[in-house]
Amino acid sequence: MKIASILFPLPLPEPFDYAVPDGMHVEPGSYVRAPLGKIERTGVVWAVKTRAEDDTRDLKPVIDVYPVPAMPEPMRKFVSFAARYNVAHPGHVLAMVLRARGGLKPSPTETVYEPTGYRSNRMTEARVKVLDAAREAGPASAAELARQAGVSPGVVKGLVDIGSLEAREVETDLPYPQPTRFEGGEHLTAEQKTAGDELRRAIAKGGFQPFLLDGITGSGKTEVYFEAIAEALQKANDAQVLVLLPEIALTQAVLARFEARFGAPPAPWHSGLSDAERRRTWRETAHGRARIVIGARSALFLPFCNLKLIIVDEEHDTSFKQEDGVTYHARDMGVMRAKLEDAAIVLASATPALETMVNAEAGRYKRLRLSARPGAARLPDIELVDLRLDPPEKGNWLSPTLSNALVSTFEAGEQSLLFLNRRGYAPLVICKACGERLKSPGTESWLTEHRYTNRLVCHLTGWSMPKPEACPMCGAKDSLMGVGPGVERVAEEVRVLLPQARVEIFSSDTARSGEETRGIVDRMAGGEIDVLIGTQIVAKGHNFPNLTLVGVVDADSGMKGGDLRAGERTYQLLSQVAGRAGRAERPGRALIQTYGPENPAMIALAAGDRDGFLQIERDVRAELMLPPFGRMAALVLSAPTPQLIEEAGRLTGAAAPNGEGVTVYGPAPAPISLLRGRHRIRFLITSPRDVDLSAYMAAWLKGLKLPNPVRISADIDPYSFL
């Protein structure tokens, strides 16, 4: 008699034992259904044991096994590792794996109709139209055929009755077409070829190997990792490849580029998928039939059968860090997954994260470099504009230098891009009469004025209200005034400067869907926009050949706040934005407005001295023992009242275990000390690199009992310091 220990996608401490009925085949990794309390649930078999003679427990039986290949051992190990490292329940991590439930079942089917070739002599015009449609479109549902022929579905039915059409059941979720084209690297430059060959050799050899593909924007990193993908797919006809990209970069253009190179579209995975697309990608991945999956961070938790290569493109991008639920960093977890799968991993970036550079320098990652853009394209000249010496006119945000550059670029028939990482019209609204700064209710955050919608919006919680006519505090009429610039305000200034120019805004307000995003990108690429004004959404991977001027409106805004990576992030963002210019034959120019041109990040940026910049960052972090030279974790608590949060902070602080080398700071009010009516406090924990900080945090949380409405969450290596 066998016992199956089943892990459920729930925050339970461990897998539970079930009896395996005679004749049922389960193995470690089988996806099964079993009763938990009164409810039947889906789980995964974590272990299979033989029942001991003296085991008299009354075990419930496994109900059934899904017709899906068992989750392979490396994936199960990965789930356990990710849970332990990120201080989460294994069941919580499993829940991320099982995000497309329908994927466990075979594809749904539908009835389609095909012509049999028989034509009776009783053919009406409507019937002829349907038969023509069926011949042209191939097998289709009755509704679809009727729609194409412009007749009622009853006509289709009639054709079936007389034997002219034949019904057939087909699966609606079709397998992905298989990649067919593996050649294509002939056009590579010498430097691209060297890097590509190195990747090909590593993949031909096999085994875990991490690479840093370090190349300036537009140097052909994608072309180079295509070589690695081609090699992996060619080497074994069941090998699978995962490409992780920031969500925002997952555009149709990127998918089309994969399709053009490999002769088949990759399987996509991102938040914009429909349920049907999601279960299709999941099922095809689990069955090993999706050879290339391209997705956002959560694609790392797809159940690949034979994962041989992971690419993390734009590896420095902070969107790889998941902040809610199970907090994890997809790049760091990706390296671990590659290790467990015995696979290669390529981290690609023009501005690698400091962590990644340190790993490369220590020899843990092999570094491949691309130093030039192919052909005539070259990096733009970067100039700093000192706003103290070259100030904008009162009430404006563009310096005379940047304004002049916009005018001459427009007159030359070329495109400009202005970057400002602030949505809306003005980031702050104050009352001229009483000085009140308008805040979001129950949240320590200012409201942003949006002119297009005429609303005041909290960017932290999404709460909004129509802009009031009078100050809500003092009641003064027409006294509310937007302070500071947002993209809408800069657009207004550009429209005055260049009345003939076609100006558009690119932010999460104007690009709310994939379709809208594509629309803006296509119009820009097609030359239908003269000046594009965007938030950080513009920084990611787009190619605009006629773009020759990039202006950064306020380079200093990202440097504020208590974030240890603020300088690094600003550097990365600004050099990515600047790198958008001059991607084809025309030279590009980037103008960066700042009040602090003496700041090391700005000096390095203007000089194109990335490594010099990283060296300064590195020294500071090494000195302070901050990541990656030491470890850090955060513990954030929230509660509905000040009394309760104070009590929770005291209890939590008192429960902190003693750990060699571990320092606990706090509790202190979190920088956002009130969010949606909940008061928030934070502990920061640091330790030397050789301390297992995950284990320390787990031990701390284990013994902790907090009153019910208090919420607590741990974050290993935090990126957000709110």
Q: Which two tokens stand for residue 682?
A: 């934070």
Q: CB 362 → ligand ADP: shortest distance, Å? A: 24
Report the alpha-carbon distance of residue 113 to residue 149 in Å, rounded. Answer: 14
Q: What are the DSSP calls for 430-496, one per residue?
A: EETTT-PBPB-TTSS-BPEEETTTTEEE-TTT--EEEPPSB-TTT--BT-EEEES--HHHHHHHHHH
305 annotated as ligand-binding: no
Q: CB 616 → ligand ADP: shortest distance, Å? A: 25
Which C-beta is closer to ligand ADP: that of 187 or that of 369? Answer: 187
The piece of 218-226, 335-343, 528-536, 568-576 that touches ligand ADP (CB under 6 A) is: 218-226
Return the residue of 220, 551, 558, 666 that touches ligand ADP, per CB under 6 A.
220
Return the residue of 126, 188, 249, 471 that touches ligand ADP, per CB under 6 A.
188
Helix (H) or strand (E) holding 244: strand 240-244
Q: CB 543 → ligand ADP: shortest distance, Å? A: 5
Q: CB 312 → ligand ADP: shortest distance, Å? A: 13
The piece of 108-116, 213-221, 466-474, 613-621 that touches ligand ADP (CB under 6 A) is: 213-221
Q: CB 215 → ligand ADP: shortest distance, Å? A: 5
- Beta strands 39-50 and 31-36 are antiparallel
Q: Is 275 exposed, middle or buried (0-12, 13-18, 19+ CB in 10 A)?
A: exposed
The piece of 12-20, 211-219, 390-398, 700-708 that touches ligand ADP (CB under 6 A) is: 211-219
Q: CB 30 → ligand ADP: shortest distance, Å? A: 40
Report the alpha-carbon distance of residue 716 to residue 248 in Å, rounded. Answer: 25
Query: Could you tell me the sign of the dihedral formed by the alpha carbons of 38, 44, 46, 52, in that order?
Result: positive
474 annotated as ligand-binding: yes
Return the residue of 103, 196, 215, 582 that touches ligand ADP, per CB under 6 A.
215
Triad 195, 230, 107: Cα angle to 5°: 145
Helix (H) or strand (E) holding 308: strand 307-313
Give Cα 342 distance to the centre of its chain. 24
Q: CB 218 → ligand ADP: shortest distance, Å? A: 4
Residue 187 binds ligand ADP (CB under 6 A): yes
Q: CB 687 → ligand ADP: shortest distance, Å? A: 37
Residue 251 binds ligand ADP (CB under 6 A): no
Which C-beta is closer to ligand ADP: that of 222 or that of 507? Answer: 222
Which C-beta is closer to ligand ADP: that of 260 or that of 481? Answer: 260
Residue 221 binds ligand ADP (CB under 6 A): yes
Residue 369 binds ligand ADP (CB under 6 A): no
**445 within 8 A of 410, measured Cβ to Cβ:** no
Interacting residues with ligand ADP between 537 and 556 (CB under 6 A): 543
Return the residue of 69, 374, 519, 640 that touches ligand ADP, per CB under 6 A.
374
Which C-beta is closer to ligand ADP: that of 219 or that of 415? Answer: 219
Residue 448 binds ligand ADP (CB under 6 A): no
Site size toward ligand ADP, by CB under 6 A: 15
Which C-beta is closer to ligand ADP: that of 173 or that of 313? Answer: 313
Residue 332, SS3 per DSSP: helix
Phi, psi of 662 (to 5 degrees): -85, 130
Report the alpha-carbon distance of residue 170 to residue 53 in Å, rounded. Answer: 49
**315 within 8 A of 712, measured Cβ to Cβ:** no
Q: What share of the chain is helix, strand, coil (3-state, %, to 5)?
A: 35, 25, 40
Residue 223 binds ligand ADP (CB under 6 A): yes
Q: Which two tokens stand for residue 65?
A: 């096994």
Return the residue of 5, 141, 189, 306 that touches ligand ADP, per CB under 6 A.
189
Instruction: Enumerate residues 6+ apart whose C-beta is below 8 A from 297.
Output: 244, 247, 319, 320, 322, 330
**592 within 8 A of 552, measured Cβ to Cβ:** yes
Which C-beta is closer to ligand ADP: that of 232 or that of 710? Answer: 232
Peptide bond into 667 cis (omega under 30): yes
Which C-beta is closer to ligand ADP: that of 315 or that of 488? Answer: 315
Beta bridge partners of 241: 292, 309
Residue 72 binds ligand ADP (CB under 6 A): no
Residue 586 binds ligand ADP (CB under 6 A): no
Helix (H) or strand (E) holding 43: strand 39-50
Q: CB 189 → ligand ADP: shortest distance, Å? A: 5
Residue 217 binds ligand ADP (CB under 6 A): yes
Residue 319, SS3 per DSSP: helix
Q: CB 198 → ligand ADP: shortest distance, Å? A: 16
x/- map, 328-367, ligand ADP, by CB under 6 A:
----------------------------------------
Q: What are the DSSP calls for 356-416, one per residue?
A: HHHHHHTTSSEEEEE-S-STT--PPEEEEEETTTSPPPTT--S-HHHHHHHHHHHHTT-EE
- Numbered residues of the known binding site: 431, 434, 458, 471, 474
Q: Which residues are annotated as part of the binding site for Zn(2+)?
A: 431, 434, 458, 471, 474
Which parts of this chain interact with ligand ADP (CB under 6 A)? 187-189, 192, 215, 217-223, 374-375, 543
